[in-house]
């Protein structure tokens, strides 16, 4: 992909379009396939911090707005509007699961940006890494995942039971998720 294009893409311009598109819920980014306009100097760090042009974005509402127009295609991440698509960098996962609510038949995760996802067939818990450093994730939406933070993972481990294959895990919406890589 080219580093930049002739079009000037600004964070403020993307935010304005996202704000209009997000009225009444999440914008339908899965339906948008605008032309690629180049790369933006934006990084989502491993700790969930959004960085624009080397500086953390200090306005949580702006970060939330950008998160609503985030789209993943393969291993690449983009901010998309109906008319433009710009590449950004994501060091690990774009979200961090910072809490989980345990009900008898479901586990609902909440991210650092307020998104919620119920673990189940549509939002699996995925284990990566080795036995020494397991890295748990939860699918949030449209191929976007959240790294489950340490305290939330410990809560999952405390609620775990042996599964049908002998591995330890949790069940949500009738689906068993092993907590071992």
In this prediction, residue 26 carries a pLDDT of: 87
Note the pLDDT tens digit of each residue in 74-93: 999 999 999 999 999 999 99
Structural domains of the chain, with CATH: 11-90 (3.10.540.10), 95-178 (2.30.270.10)
In this prediction, residue 4 carries a pLDDT of: 41
Do residues 40 and 126 make contact, with C-beta atoms less than 8 angstroms apart? Answer: no
Note the pLDDT tens digit of each residue in 37-51: 999 999 999 999 999
DSSP annotation of 4 reads B
What backbone phi and psi angles, to 5 degrees, belong to 94? -70, -20
Q: Which neighbouring-strand residues pair with 140?
A: none
Q: Please give the Cα distance from 143 to 82 (Å, whole number).
A: 19
DSSP 54-65: TEE---HHHHHH
Do residues 150 and 137 make contact, with C-beta atoms less than 8 angstroms apart? Answer: no
Q: Please give the Cα distance from 80 to 6 (Å, whole number).
A: 17
């Amino acid at each position: 992909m080219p580093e930049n294009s002739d079009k000037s893409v600004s964070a403020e311009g993307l935010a304005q379009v996202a704000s209009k598109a997000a009225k009444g819920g999440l914008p339908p980014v899965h339906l948008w396939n605008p032309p690629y306009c180049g790369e933006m100097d934006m990084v989502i760090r491993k700790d969930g911090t959004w960085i624009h042009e080397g500086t953390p974005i200090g306005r949580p509402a702006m970060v939330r707005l950008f998160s609503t127009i985030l789209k993943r295609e393969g291993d690449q991440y983009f901010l998309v509007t109906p008319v433009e698509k710009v590449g950004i960098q994501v060091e690990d996962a774009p979200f961090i699961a910072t809490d989980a609510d345990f009900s008898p038949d479901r586990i609902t995760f909440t991210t650092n940006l307020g998104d919620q996802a119920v673990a189940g067939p549509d939002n699996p818990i995925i284990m990566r890494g080795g036995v020494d450093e397991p890295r748990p994730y939860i699918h949030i939406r449209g191929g976007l995942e959240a790294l489950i933070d340490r305290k939330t993972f410990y809560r999952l481990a405390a609620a775990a039971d042996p599964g049908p294959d002998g591995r330890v895990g949790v069940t949500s919406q009738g689906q068993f998720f092993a907590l071992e890589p």
